[in-house]
Amino acid sequence: MWKEVAKRLERRRAPARGTVLLLAALVLVLAAYLYERSRGSSSGVSGNNNESVALYAEALEMVEEDYVDRKSFDPEEQTYGAIKGMLGSLDKEGHTRFETPEEVANNREGYPNTEIGVGVRLEDRGDEVVVSSLLENSPAGEAGIEPGDALISVNGKSVRGEHILETNKKLEGPEGGRVDLTVLRDGEEREFSAERAELEVPAASWNLIPGTDVAHLRLALFSDGSAAELEGALFEAREAGAERLILDLRNNEGGWVEQAEEVAARFLSAGSVTYVQRDGDSNEEEAVVPDGNEPLDAPLVVLVNKGSASSAEMLAGALRDNDRADLVGGTTFGAGTVLEERPLRDGSAILLATAEWLTPSGDAIQGSGIEPDVEAGLEKGQQPRTPDELRGLTEEEISEEDAQLERAFEVLQKE
């Protein structure tokens, strides 16, 4: 199972007019390989595709013989571009994607604990590069960037229609360097400036709201060991007197689904369905909490927003549909596909969307997200606050800093 949303993602590019012939050549390089494969084995391509492959090969021959700039061809780049173009035609949302050998190796490293940047996570939405979430205490968030903002330019250079990887590269640079961002929000262009910093990416944190028995429990992402980190935070919070919990999944971009399943099991009884996986043939398989599981039965409310994506959405849907918790906040991002790595001969790979996630009640996540039980927004000038940011504040001061958290507290009081 691979990361879903928006970390080191590579997406298709809408080709500029001047590169149309080159892109055609890329497709044809791939077609020639398929054509040769089909000649050597009847199982190379399906019967319906034989005529198309032959047509590609015919056009490739014309390009090889007569194209004016044949010396500019880079076989590896052409082949990779052909695959990306083909996958882009299959999946307009960009979840199915191609990765070079270097990107495959980077993905297998898992989620880093630190990074240098402005702290944004990006997602391809059609022709737009959208901020899917923000790291905690991110310079971009402090500057005013919000999840859902569509990037227009980075440091004055347009990012419209380009690969996510190229957009991310524009954001990279040394610590202390400034990044100027132009975004589209609610139909209006806005400009922001943020300074790159070294950012920690902790999985779990908590704070006991003063004068109450309510713990604000933040789960930032699903990395290796994040379920264990959450368990440690839960233990500390309960030792400090917490009897009720607000589980904060805002701006949680997802991660390893196995970690999300472990967290779900901490709150759900054995046999509970956590999600349904449906493949291209409409076959469905339920994921359930293992036998013998002993869940925590403390009253629970879950905070979500448009930065809650992928595995975070799966967890939120599981807790909602099993009547374990109310969801408070905003509609989640809507990233609900299962990606499988299909290796290619040179170490590159296709991350192929082979299935989609449904909530236990059968609601689709992909493209639509999960609506909260209780709608709650932030007031002007506010942003989601972490437990560390709120530590030491009074209950009244906390409510003034984060209206969504205040609303979750009110809902929890009725539990």
DSSP 47-73: HHHHHHHHHHHHHHHHHHHH-TTGGG-
Least confident of 29-33, 63-67, 220-224, 344-348: 29-33
Q: Is the distance from CB of 306 to CB of 369 less than 8 angstroms? A: yes
Query: For 316-331, what is each residue's pLDDT tens digit?
Result: 999 999 999 999 999 9
Structure token pair of residue 98: 């191609």
Whether this model's pTM surpasses 0.95: no
Average pLDDT value over all residues in the chain: 84
The helix/strand/coil state of 38 is helix
Q: Is the distance from CB of 327 to CB of 408 less than 8 angstroms? A: no
pLDDT at res. 94: 57
Is the pLDDT at 232 greater than 60? The verdict is yes
Q: What is the CA radius of gyration of the chain?
A: 23
CB neighbour list of residue 16: distance below 8 Å, 6 or more residues apart: none
Query: For 276-324, what is each residue's pLDDT tens digit?
Result: 999 999 999 999 999 999 999 999 999 999 999 999 999 999 999 999 9
Query: For 385-413, what is each residue's pLDDT tens digit?
Result: 989 888 888 999 999 999 999 999 999 99
The whole-number average pLDDT for the span 235-239 is 96
Is the pLDDT at 16 greater than 60? The verdict is no
Is the pLDDT at 361 greater than 70? The verdict is yes
Determine if residue 367 is left, alpha or beta; phi over 0 gives left, psi from -120 to 50 gives alpha, anything else beta. Answer: left
